[in-house]
Structure 1
């Protein structure tokens, strides 16, 4: 099973990218998680689209298309989705109708990490609203929101909190089980 893990943050020391790196290490046997970011994707512009879909968008789209599932890690900026993640999804949905073709029926799960105390509940909820329009097959049995991420990861981005590690491992295993059941 292959899962694309998409980080909704660009920062080198992103807690969300670190969360996905930890998920890679905790994946159950037979599950490969491949980290992808939104680096290189320009701001959406219909004039630019008319010139052709950027290579970074096409590369990410094909990786998602070839994967069995999608795991998105979203930060929470001002109580919602970060602009870079929404922009990436906007590009992936172009040309019109591509979002449903790419994401329709794709098993998808959301996670998020934030330095704040409330997790990424609002960002994840807002992201569900966007992705619902594409017809993703959401895993709703699990939810992972890491709060106070500065205490959960060390300065090198390593997951150092045992409880968070256990929750992430359970989350990844549960999502992999969901994907496996969908493949039958």
Structure 2
């Protein structure tokens, strides 16, 4: 089986982020042929088109290089005001520029939205999918992954309590592995 390196982009910067815990948990239920690399996005200055002409910050250069080296991307994001967090949108913009040098292009992707509420980050999930379509990232259509009421679904170690949820997350990661292999 061919090993694939998956970049994990987490849209939350908080130290005790539920999204970081979910991202980590997903790596534990993924097929053995997937390896994971967390992509840091918290150090990126806000995108400014002047960078394209005057020279990009080192963090942009690092991000673009890391993205280009990956086989696929797993996005794990909270929802802020019915959309994606600014830090995540900024990372998408920074690695897609300058025009014609989109580092995301062609990278298969999957989206997981995580929320403390019952709507489960539906708005963020779909806004992110809209951006990924424009960036030419084939995004896994099914199964969709919305994780609501997350504060009550994880134990202190960041593991899911419900066996059916664990089974669903495992099948999601299996489907993602199959999706990646199509590309």
Which 5+ residue runs of structure 2 have no aligned equivalent? Answer: none
C-alpha displacement at 1:66, in angstroms?
1.1
Q: Using the alignment, how far apart are the partners of 2:170 and 2:125 within structure 1? A: 19
Q: What residue is the counterpart of 2:182 in the other structure?
A: 181
> Counterparts of 2:95 and 2:108 in 1: how far apart (Å)?
16
1:107 aligned partner: 108
- Residue 82 in 1 paired to residue 85 in 2? yes
Which of the numbers 22, 30, 44 marks the counterpart of 2:25? 22
TM-score normalized with structure 1 length: 0.90
1:37 has 2:43 as partner: no
Tell me whether 1:144 sits opposite 2:145 in the alignment: yes
Partner of 2:164: 163
TM-score, normalised to structure 2, is 0.90
Deviation at 1:98, TM superposition (A): 2.2
CA distance in structure 1 between the aligned counterparts of 2:35 and 2:160, rounded to whole angstroms: 19
Instruction: Compute the RMSD of aligned alpha carbons.
Output: 1.6
Query: Which one of the candidate residues 51, 66, 87 is aligned to 2:54?
Result: 51
Contact 1:9/1:37 (<8 A) preserved: no
- How far apart, CA to CA, are the structure 2 residues paired with 1:181 and 1:42? 34
Q: How does 1:92-103 map to 2 (within 5 A)?
A: 92-99=95-102, 102-103=103-104
Encode CA deviations 1:74-117: one digit per residue, 9 max, x unaligned: 11011111111111111111111222xx2222111100111010
CA deviations over 1:15-56 (Å, ceiling 9, x no partner): 111111011111112111222231211112233454322222
Residues 132 and 138, structure 2, Cα contact 8 Å, conserved in 1: no
List per-residue Cα deviations over 1:104-151 (Å, max 9, x = no partner): 221111001110101111111111111211111111122111000101
Alignment length (residue pairs) = 180
Structure with greater proportional helix content? 1
Unaligned runs of 5+ in 1: none
Change (3 A) 1:159 1:62: farther
Cα distance in 2, alignment partners of residues 124 and 67 from structure 1: 22
2:131 pairs with 1:130: yes
Partners of 1:10 and 1:37 within 8 A in 2: no
Deviation at residue 152 of structure 1 after TM alignment = 1.5
